[in-house]
């Protein structure tokens, strides 16, 4: 009690000190930063404006244009030799999952690592991703019992620097998640990563469970088994999620299962590797997004056993063809990678940028690819009012490259400057 009283008697000076500290900290954060920009890329229009100034205050873009007054005492960053654009986004990531080897299977990952270890893995991955220029990502599950929710919250609290993380919580799937024929004696240990939902009511309940535990979006896996979701089950998920302001993404490859996803009103088809032109046309009509996750062949080779090498070549060619057809038909597309393996010397950020090769191979113009990586992804993620473009009032998520990404999208592999919510996280050399 005595000790407690002593602390209490010092209460006022401590409170004063804290006030002074927070006022000072607040003042430091209110510091204005000015970016002098040689070429400001507008991904919506696919154009670049010369000699622009961006004024950043309190983490947001306060002004942008050719004739912005530079306030006295502002920190000025020289990007006059660079191409400046909004931070990149990936609509399909699994930040807590990597080093995956499909010859041992996805299930091994659930047993091998605790939720805490998976969260640490995810935090490291999130930071690698930010460093190469991705300022927002959507984690679409396989996150070890909501570990991505904790990563998101820790970054939001300012404990760690990282990208904006949106998470879907546990993946909702028909019985068994993405496991296959586990012995019944083992029990349903997939429930660490999945929610079994096999009726309209179970789907509704699963969506509510995810919202309760902090999901920003909903993810279903439809056709990973011989059975798949009906149109009614998809509609139930969409109704329940939309009522709470969340988008629904569904892992589905093609055929009748994909038709159910599109007609049921899901917001996005994830993967869609077997989509016919007819289904792509239906997606266009319904306004369904495609998050294509076209794995490069080198990634597939790393992911699957050696004896499948010939098959990986065919698979990658099929993905390029589907991407080409989707672009030609005019389906709305958001960039998504699903990268979960690691090639020697490459971190997750580098692996994600490898997907640019697939967009190039499909003949998608650089401006359209950049759009898929910025404003399109922001729209699908429902954050387009605060992120995804460089305009007054938007969050200051800004990156720069030495070369013009509208001419060659591979310029994005050389991101030389990253600002996240107004803080420089990768200073220009």
240 binding Zn ion? (CB under 5 A): no
- Interstrand relation of 33-42 and 75-86 (parallel, antiparallel or unpaired): parallel
90 binding Zn ion? (CB under 5 A): no
Taking the complex as a whole, how short is the minimal distance between the CB of residue 124 and Zn ion, in angstroms?
19
Sheet with 268-271, edge to edge strand ranges: 194-196, 171-173, 218-221, 248-252, 268-271, 289-291
338 binding Zn ion? (CB under 5 A): yes
Alpha helix stretches (DSSP H) within 132-199: 147-156
Taking the complex as a whole, how short is the minimal distance between the CB of residue 245 and Zn ion, in angstroms?
23
Looking at residue 254, the DSSP 8-state letter turns out to be S
Taking the complex as a whole, how short is the minimal distance between the CB of residue 173 and Zn ion, in angstroms?
12
Q: Considering the complex, state which of residue 83 and residue 228 has its C-beta at the smaller distance from Zn ion.
A: 228
Contact call for residues 89 and 135 (beta carbons, < 8 A): yes
Find the residue with minimal CB distance to Zn ion: 338
Q: Which stretch binds Zn ion (CB under 5 A): 5-13, 222-230, 239-247, 336-344?
A: 336-344
Nearest alpha-carbon partner for 191 in 179, 180, 183? 179
Q: Which stretch binds Zn ion (CB under 5 A): 9-17, 58-66, 130-138, 337-345?
A: 337-345
Taking the complex as a whole, how short is the minimal distance between the CB of residue 92 and Zn ion, in angstroms?
6
42 binding Zn ion? (CB under 5 A): no
What is the total count of residues that contact Zn ion (CB under 5 A)? Answer: 1
The 373-392 site mask, x for binding Zn ion (CB under 5 A), equals: --------------------
3-state secondary structure of 5: helix
Sheet with 164-167, edge to edge strand ranges: 88-93, 134-139, 164-167
Q: Considering the complex, state which of residue 338 and residue 397 has its C-beta at the smaller distance from Zn ion.
A: 338
Q: Considering the complex, state which of residue 85 and residue 106 has its C-beta at the smaller distance from Zn ion.
A: 106
Q: Considering the complex, state which of residue 333 and residue 419 has its C-beta at the smaller distance from Zn ion.
A: 333
Alpha helix stretches (DSSP H) within 219-308: 231-243, 255-263, 277-286, 297-303
Nearest-angstrom CA–CA distance, 349 and 134 = 8
Binding site for Zn ion (CB under 5 A): 338
């Amino acid at each position: 009690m005595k000790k407690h009283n002593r602390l209490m008697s010092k209460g006022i000076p401590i409170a004063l000190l804290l006030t002074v500290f927070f006022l000072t900290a607040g003042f430091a954060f209110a510091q204005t930063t000015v970016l002098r920009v040689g070429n400001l890329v507008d991904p919506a229009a696919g154009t670049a404006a010369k000699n622009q100034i961006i004024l950043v205050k309190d983490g947001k873009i306060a002004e942008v244009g050719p004739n912005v007054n530079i306030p006295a005492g502002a920190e000025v960053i020289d990007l006059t030799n660079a191409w400046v654009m909004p931070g990149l986004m990936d609509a399909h990531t699994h930040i807590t999952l990597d080093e995956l080897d499909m010859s041992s299977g996805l299930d091994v990952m659930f047993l091998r690592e605790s939720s805490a270890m998976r969260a640490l893995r995810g935090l490291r991955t999130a930071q690698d991703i930010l460093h190469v220029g991705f300022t927002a990502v959507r984690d679409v599950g396989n996150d070890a019992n909501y570990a991505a929710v904790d990563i998101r919250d820790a970054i939001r609290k300012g404990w760690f620097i990282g990208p904006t993380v949106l998470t879907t919580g546990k993946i909702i799937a028909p019985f068994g998640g993405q496991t296959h024929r586990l012995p019944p004696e083992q029990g349903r240990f997939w429930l660490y990563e999945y929610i079994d939902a096999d009726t309209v009511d179970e789907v509704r309940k699963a969506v509510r469970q995810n919202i309760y535990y902090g999901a920003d979006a909903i993810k279903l896996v439809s056709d990973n088994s011989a059975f798949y979701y009906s149109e009614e089950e998809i509609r139930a998920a969409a109704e329940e999620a939309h009522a709470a302001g969340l988008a629904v993404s569904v892992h589905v490859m093609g055929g009748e299962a994909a038709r159910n996803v599109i007609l049921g009103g899901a917001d996005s088809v994830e993967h869609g590797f077997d989509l016919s032109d007819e289904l792509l046309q239906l997606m266009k009509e319904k306004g369904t997004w495609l998050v294509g996750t076209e794995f490069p062949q080198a990634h597939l080779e790393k992911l699957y056993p050696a004896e499948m090498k010939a098959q990986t070549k065919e698979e990658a060619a099929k993905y390029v063809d589907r991407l080409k057809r989707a672009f030609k038909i005019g389906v709305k597309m958001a960039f998504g990678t699903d990268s979960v393996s690691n090639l020697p010397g490459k971190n997750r950020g580098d692996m994600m940028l490898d997907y640019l090769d697939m967009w190039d191979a499909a003949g998608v113009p650089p401006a359209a690819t950049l759009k898929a990586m910025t404003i399109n992804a922001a729209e699908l993620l429902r954050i387009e009012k605060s992120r995804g473009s460089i305009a007054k009032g938007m969050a200051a998520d800004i990156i720069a490259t030495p070369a013009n990404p509208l001419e060659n999208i591979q310029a994005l592999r050389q991101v030389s400057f990253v600002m996240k919510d107004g803080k420089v996280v990768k200073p220009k050399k």
